Amino acid sequence: MDEQREVQVKNPCHRPVFLILTAVIAAVIITVVSISVVQNKHILQKYKYGIVLDAGSSHTSVYIYEWPAEKENNTGMVRQTHTCHVKGKGISSYSTIPEKAGMSLQECMEEAKQKIPVARHPETPVYLGATAGMRLLKMDNEDASNKVLASVTNSLKKYPFSFQGARIILGQEEGAFGWITVNYLSDNFRKAMGTLGALDLGGASTQITFIPKQEIESQDNTIDFRLYGNDYHLYTHSFLCFGKDQVLRLSLAEKSRYTLDKNNSTLSDPCFHTGYNSSKKYMDVFDTPCVKEKSALPKDFIHVGLGDWAECQNSVKKVFDASHCRYSTCSFDGVFQPSVEGKFGAFSAFYFVMDFLNLTSGTLEDAKLKMRRYCSTPWKDIVQRYPKILEKYLSEYCFSGTYILTLLEHGYKFTSNNWKDIQFIKKIGDSDAGWTLGYMLNLTNMIPAEAPDVPLMPHGGYVSFMVLFTLLVFLLFFLAFLYYRRSTRTAQKDII
Ligand SMILES: O=c1[nH]cnc2c1ncn2[C@@H]1O[C@H](COP(=O)(O)OP(=O)(O)O)[C@@H](O)[C@H]1O
Ligand SMILES: [Ca+2]
């Protein structure tokens, strides 16, 4: 008995008080750690979806976006999860059979139904934005353009989503929302450390948008945003008829005035490869409001290539009218433009063409040299080298590349010095660069004017802090206990 009592005195860990204390501390640690892990962590990650149809002049694409429901206002949370390219041409090509415009969207919309969870269908917004092809159709035949819009509206209403409207967006919106997209995806709004200008090239129009250093002298070219607590004063301009397909028509129309042969049936063109020879129709050139002066081309003509880059550039330059400007500086056609400033993202056809021609890096001089070489390559060699590329695209790359270099250098006034500031991009992360994401973010109010309140520390940091803090408390208890034990032993020894 005496021995047992002695052991109990020697080993205070067996004291009930100590055991209870240890249990309480352990319980406290487990509780604190569990609470910190669960706190702020969402039990189920729910996703929301949005669908935007980009009804371009050449074709329509359907984009599906996804974002975590509870992080709606955090920048960079929305990503593109699926893209569907509608078969056939753009909706404006259905002007004589408008009912087919709506039908053309069915396949991609069925695909969207499969991709988005059924439970989310009713709350998923669907937007259709039509760009320059429909702007031109409206100029030409407003009734036809209304019928095409009615047809796509009817078709989209039949799906279980929340249809939010089909409309022709303004050129300024196309430019500004493209700018929002590239800056949102680059996380520039949160960082607030400078923004990326946006250059979009389509088939029927082209847009330039950036924050200039100079004052914006024309009201038509300004657009203001307040995003995440910062004010942005943008310069933007959309050039209708300066998309690459319309400029090709303009330049063919121009050439037809002086290069037709005696029989008026052969049109010689320095922007097409030697040996290229294709039968085309008068309508292919003149059936557009962009070509104002209709000339003497016959109903059918032969388009013949000359493969001469320098001559091609001379002919393309004629498309830019630099004869008048009522501001301190202009790009072309009397449009005000301040000096280009900062870095730019150039996407859509800027990317397709420059990527194909291998011109997405290097100097402006390199690009010109490569173009000279490429345009002088005979057509039969080009066809042999790229057997898988669609002939329509392939035959036009010499023209399109020349047009892009001329637009950037002589139109927007980029120079050899700031050429490197243009980045040719298709995607940023998973998402395509283009106006659609910015359009949806704006319409769903997903970029707030003021920066949302953020917790003091991120979730991971908060958990680590709580764990370390609890361990520290535990250690202090332990040290206090050691100190208590040592002092009781010393007291016992003193008694003995
Ligand atoms: O793979 C490609 N190579 C070259 N051009 C392409 C390719 N894919 C699309 N494009 C071109 O990109 C342009 C897209 O224009 P879009 O249809 O968006 O017109 P818009 O923006 O003027 O309304 C068209 O000129 C189309 O031919
Ligand atoms: Ca476009």
Which residues make Cβ contacts (< 8 Å) with residue 167, sequence separation at least 6?
128, 129, 130, 149
Does residue 400 form part of some domain? no
CA of 352 to the centre of ligand 1 (A): 8
308 CA → ligand 1 middle, Å: 24
Residue 475 located in a structural domain = yes
Which atom number of ligand 1 is nearest to the Cα of residue 396? 4
Are residues 126 and 10 both part of a single domain?
A: no
pLDDT of residue 1: 43
* DSSP string over 388-403: TS-HHHHHHHHHHHHH
- Is 97 part of any domain? yes
Residue partners of 77: CB distance under 8 A and separation at least 6: 67, 68, 71
Which of 138, 352, 426 is the best mutation target for the ligand 1 pocket, counting ligand atoms within 8 Å of the beta carbon and taking the most? 352
pLDDT for the residue 342: 98
> Are residue 121 and residue 104 in the same domain, yes or no?
yes
**CB-based contacts of 495: which residues, under 8 Å, 6+ apart?**
none
Strand partners, 206: 201, 239
72 and 157 part of one domain? yes
Cα-to-centroid distance, 128 and ligand 2 (Å): 13
How far, in Å, CA of 181 to CA of 453, rounded? 23
Helix, coil or strand: residue 243 = coil
Q: Which atom of ligand 1 is nearest to the CA of 397?
A: 4
| 363-400 per-residue burial string, b: 16 or more CB within 10 A, e: under 16 | ebeebbebbeebbeeebeebbeeeeeeeeeebbbbbbb
What pLDDT sits at residue 394?
98
Taking the CA of residue 59 as reference, the ligand 1 atom at the shortest distance is: 17
Give the β-pairing of 205-210 and 125-130: unpaired
From the CA of 130, give the closest atom in ligand 1. 23
Give the domain range for residue 92: 43-168
CATH code, 75:
3.30.420.40
Together in a domain, 50 and 137: yes
Q: Supply the residues annotated as catalytic.
A: 174
Does the beta carbon of 244 sit less than 6 angstroms from any atom of ligand 1? Answer: yes
pTM score of the predicted model? 0.86
Please give the tally of structural domains in the chain. 2
Q: Which segments are annotated as binding site? A: 203-207
Residue 34, Cβ density class (10 Å: 0-12 exposed, 13-18 middle, ≥19 buried): exposed
137: Cβ below 6 Å to ligand 1? Answer: no
Cβ–ligand 1 distance for 404 under 6 Å, the answer no
Q: Does 101 share its domain with 16?
A: no
Ligand 1 near 393 CB (within 6 A): yes
- Return the pLDDT at 29: 74
Question: Is the domain of 25 the same as that of 142?
Answer: no
Interhelix angle 244-256/309-317, nearest 10 degrees: 100
Residue 119 lies in a domain: yes
Same domain assignment for residues 106 and 32: no
Residues 21 and 53 in one domain: no
Residue at which a domain ends, from 168, 186, 203:
168
Q: What is the pLDDT of residue 262?
A: 61
Residue with tokens 């301040």: 338
Find all residues with CB under 8 Å of 9, minimum gap 6, and list them. 492
| CA–centroid distance for 18 within its chain | 64
Pair (27, 138) in one structural domain: no
Cα torsion 73, 77, 83, 86 to 10°: value is 10
Same domain, 50 and 139: yes
Q: Residue with the nearest Cα to atom 24 of ligand 1?
A: 203
Q: How far apart are CA 403 and CA 317, in angstroms?
A: 8
Q: Is residue 160 located within the same domain as residue 50?
A: yes
Q: Environment class of residue 426 by beta-carbon count within 10 Å: exposed (0-12), middle (13-18) or buried (19+)?
A: middle
**Among the three residues 168, 199, 220, which one is the final residue of a domain in this structure?**
168
Give the single-character DSSP code of 170.
Answer: P
Ligand 1 pocket mutation, candidates 52, 57, 396, criterion most atoms within 8 A of CB: 57
Residue 271 lies in a domain: no
Q: Whose alpha carbon is nearest atom 1 of ligand 1?
A: 352
Asked whether 57 lines ligand 1 (CB < 6 A), one says yes
Alpha helices in 275-363 (DSSP H): 282-286, 309-317, 349-356
Residue 56 Cα to ligand 1 middle (Å): 8
Residue 348 Cβ inside 6 Å of ligand 1? The answer reads yes
Domain boundary among 147, 168, 189: 168
Say yes or no: CB of residue 131 within 6 Å of ligand 1.
Answer: yes
Could you tell me if residue 332 is inside a domain?
Answer: no
Both structure tokens of 130 = 């039509």
Tens place of pLDDT for every residue, the chain, 496 residues?
444 444 444 555 556 777 787 787 778 777 877 776 666 554 456 899 999 999 999 999 999 999 998 877 777 799 999 999 999 999 999 999 999 999 999 999 999 999 999 999 999 999 999 999 999 999 999 999 999 999 999 999 999 999 999 999 999 999 999 999 999 999 999 887 899 999 999 999 999 999 999 999 999 999 999 999 999 999 999 999 999 999 999 999 998 887 666 666 899 999 999 999 999 998 889 999 999 987 766 788 999 999 999 999 999 999 999 999 999 999 999 999 999 999 999 999 999 999 999 999 999 999 999 999 999 999 999 999 999 999 999 999 999 999 999 999 999 999 999 999 999 999 999 999 999 999 999 999 998 888 876 666 766 777 777 778 878 877 887 788 788 778 777 777 666 5
Q: How far apart are CA 324 and CA 60, in angstroms?
A: 36
Which residue's alpha carbon is nearest to atom 10 within ligand 1? Answer: 349
Q: In angstroms, rounded to a whole number, what is the distance separating the alpha carbons of residues 128 and 52? A: 6
Q: Which residues define the annotated binding site for ATP?
A: 203-207
Question: 68 and 87: one domain?
Answer: yes
Asked, for residue 142, whether it belongs to a domain, the answer is yes
For residue 66, what is the DSSP state?
Answer: E
Query: What's the pLDDT score for residue 105?
Result: 98
Give residue 454's pLDDT: 65
493 CA to centre of ligand 2 in angstroms: 91
Length of the chain: 496
Ligand 2 geometric centre to CA of 421 (Å): 22
Q: Is 474 in the pocket of ligand 1 (CB under 6 A)?
A: no
